[in-house]
Amino acid sequence: MASECLDPAGPAPSRRPIRHLYVHTPFCATICPYCAFYVHTGSASEMRTFVDALLREWERVSRDCPVEAETLYLGGGTPSLLPLDAFRRLAEALHPWEAVETTLEANPRTVTPSKAVAWRELGVGRVSLGVQSLDSDVLGTLGRRHTAEDVKRAVWTLRDAGFRNINVDLLFAVPGQSPASWQRTLGEAIALGPEHISAYELTFEEDTPFFKARAAGIWTEDENRSIEMYRTTFRLLEGAGYRQYEISNYARPGRASRHNQGYWKGNDYLGLGPGACSTVGLRRWQNRRDTERYIAALSAGQEPPREQEPLSEELRQRERLLLGLRTSDGIPASWIGGNSEAALALTRQGLGELSEGNFRLTPEGRLLADGIAGLFV
C-alpha cells in the first residue's frame, strides 16, 4: 500500500514534514455522561498492551511520513492515567526530536509528585488539566469525581515539579449551573494562576446520556444564559490579563497553544491511536474507534483499521476560513473574495474589523462565526 503521506491529488508525492503530532489514549477512570470522545476504562496491563500497539503504529507511520514535530499533544481520554513505565516508553519513542511544545492532558486526581517529576523529565512542558468546574454541584452533574481541593493540589504539585505552562479546561452552560456559579469558578481558576484557560460551552453530543436527557425534556438549553456566560468569561479573563486568541481559548502573553493554532491554521497533522484523525494534503483518515481491533491489527503486523475521507482544496480552504474566523488573528483579507460588502456591513455592526491585511471578528462577532463563515464561501 502507498504511504498514507502521499498526496494522490498532488503533482508529486508531498514530502513536506508534518509539524503536529497527536496521540490518543482512550482510557479514563470513569466515563463522563457528556463525553463523546472515544474512551473506555481499562486495567494497567491493558494500557501497557495499548502502548505496545501504539509504538508499532508510530514505527509504521514514521517510516512513511516525514515528521519533524514542533508540537506533540498527548490527549484522550486520560493519558495521565498511563502507568509510568508505559508512559516512559511512549515518551522516549516519540522524542527522537525535541518538540517545541509537548502537552499532556491530565485529570487532577492522577497528578502525583512522582508522576509530575517524571513527565517533566520526559519532555512534557505543558499540562492541560481537565477541571471543568470548581463548584461541587456542577462537578456532580458532570459526573466528575474530583473536587476543587484536588485541582489546587494538582496545580501545586505541577508547579513544584517545575511546570510553568499549565492550562485549565472549564465548561459553561452546564444544566443547573447558575451565572453566579460560573463567575465563582472563573474567579477561582484565575486565582490558581494558570498560563492558559480554555472555557468551552457544553454541547449535547449524540449518543451521550446528556443528549438523551435533553431529548427526554429533562434538561433544556438556554441560549441567552450561554451568551451571558460567554460575555462574563471574556470580561473576567481579559480583565485578569488573559487574551482571547480563539473563541474558547485565553492565554497569558506567549502562552497560546501552538498545537491548536496549527489546527486552526489548517496545517497538516498526524494522529496515532484508536479514533485518532490525520490530515495530510488532500487526504484525511481516521483510525477506527476500536481499541481491541487496533491492538490486534498492529500485533499482527498490519495497518490499524481506518476510514478514509478524500478532501478537496476547496473543502480545506473552507475549513481554514471557518476556523480562522474563530481566532483573534482572523483570516487574510484576500479570502473574503468578492464579498467585501458583507465584510464592511459586519464592520459597521461592530462584529468585524479589517486591519493589517486581515479580516477578523470582534469578540461579539465570534459568537456568530459559523453563520458569518457562510457569507464568504
- DSSP H helical ranges for 142-290: 148-160, 179-192, 209-215, 223-239, 258-264
Site for ligand SF4 contains 35 (CB under 6 A):
yes
Site for ligand SF4 contains 168 (CB under 6 A):
no
Smallest CA-to-CA distance from 304 within 328, 273, 283, 326 is with: 273
Q: Which is nearer to ligand SF4, 91 or 139 (CB)?
A: 139
Instruction: Give, to the nearest 10 degrees, the angle between helix 148-160 and helix 179-192.
Output: 20
Q: Which is nearer to ligand SF4, 110 or 157 (CB)?
A: 110
Site for ligand SF4 contains 32 (CB under 6 A):
yes
- Full strand arrangement of the beta sheet holding 331-332: 331-332, 358-361, 352-355
Minimum separation from the CB atom of position 128 to ligand SF4 (A): 11
Site for ligand SF4 contains 240 (CB under 6 A):
no
Minimum separation from the CB atom of position 78 to ligand SF4 (A): 5
Cell numbers describing residue 375: 457569507
Count interface residues toward ligand SF4 (CB under 6 A): 11
Give the residue, chosen from 3, 6, 17, 31, that forms a contact with ligand SF4 under the rule CB under 6 A: 31
Give the residue, chosen from 28, 82, 173, 256, that forms a contact with ligand SF4 under the rule CB under 6 A: 28
Positions 71 through 100 that interact with ligand SF4 (CB under 6 A): 76-78
The one-letter amino acid code at 267 reads N
Residue 64: φ, ψ to 5°: -95, -30
User: How far apart are alpha carbons 303 and 294 in whole angstroms?
Assistant: 8
SS3 content of the chain, % helix, strand, coil (to 5): 40, 20, 35
Positions 108 through 167 that interact with ligand SF4 (CB under 6 A): 130
Q: Which is nearer to ligand SF4, 31 or 117 (CB)?
A: 31
Provide the binding-site residues for ligand SF4, judged by CB under 6 A. 28, 31-32, 35, 37, 39, 76-78, 107, 130
